[in-house]
Amino acid sequence: MQPIFLKNLGKKSFKETWELQEKLFNQIIEIKNNNRKNNQKTPTPSYLLVVEHPHVYTLGKSGDLSNLLINQQQLNQHNIDFYKINRGGDITYHGPGQLVVYPILDLENFFTDIHKYLRLLEEVVIKTLAEYGLKGERSEGETGVWIDKHTLSARKICALGVRLSRWVTMHGFALNVHTDLNYFQKIVPCGIQGKSVTSIQSELKKEISLEEVLPKILNHFTELFQVQFQNIDL
């Protein structure tokens, strides 16, 4: 089984976490570049960061700024950060009650197929939701996981967006556990008009904690990616 270094960052700002991701990402790229340059086979590490962010909106590199429905003054009033970032996808929200998972993997240690990678991340969430009796579904052409996708009440429960360079990944997915869904009303989530957003707690109508959901996510990640986690201090 492939080892992955696991770090639960607890509550940490998006900016600090993004900087840590970039640091680890660039370290892996540097190892790969040196391997090619010097004809070496130094193994590359992989990481999984778990975090809960304060209120923040992030806009992907191909996103449309018009999908942010409030201005800078309103962002300041509501104490919400905003960043244009280097992942795929459009705009999304991160905040308290949301479980955010950032795999920083060298896919050459697993498989060189970005579509398989995205579908497996979705499957981790789908299998986790199934443990709560919720049927998570994919939507063709739209990454992420939905509830009741093929009905008029379709609602998104997990957003997904990644960056990939030289088969090294960063960014990841955000699962709404007991998130305040009102913050999604200030954006067009993922740039998709006319669709609502939900959370596990909203669906089940009972309190659900991040601490309860995280082991399920990790178990399914272990199963689907055939990995073994090792806790690490960063």
Q: What is the pTM of this model?
A: 0.95
- Looking at residue 192, what is its pLDDT? 61
Helices marked H in 11-54: 14-38
Q: Domains in the chain, start-ordered, CATH in brackets?
A: 2-231 (3.30.930.10)
- Looking at residue 90, what is its pLDDT? 84
Main-chain phi, psi angles of 37, to 5 degrees: -65, -40
Q: What pLDDT tens digit does each residue of the chain (234 aa) get?
A: 899 999 999 999 999 999 999 999 999 999 999 999 999 999 999 999 999 999 999 998 888 888 899 899 999 999 999 999 988 778 999 999 999 999 999 999 999 999 999 999 999 999 999 999 999 999 887 889 999 988 888 999 999 999 999 999 999 999 999 999 999 999 887 656 667 899 999 999 999 999 999 999 999 999 999 999 999 988
The residues, ordered by sequence, that sit 6+ positions from 55 with a Cβ below 8 Å of its Cβ are 78, 79, 80, 81, 93, 94, 95, 96, 183
Burial of residue 214, with CB atoms counted within 10 A of its CB: 0-12 exposed, 13-18 middle, 19 or more buried: middle
**158 is a catalytic site residue:** no
- Looking at residue 107, what is its pLDDT? 97
- Looking at residue 166, what is its pLDDT? 95
Choosing from 48, 170, 190, 197, the catalytic residue is 190
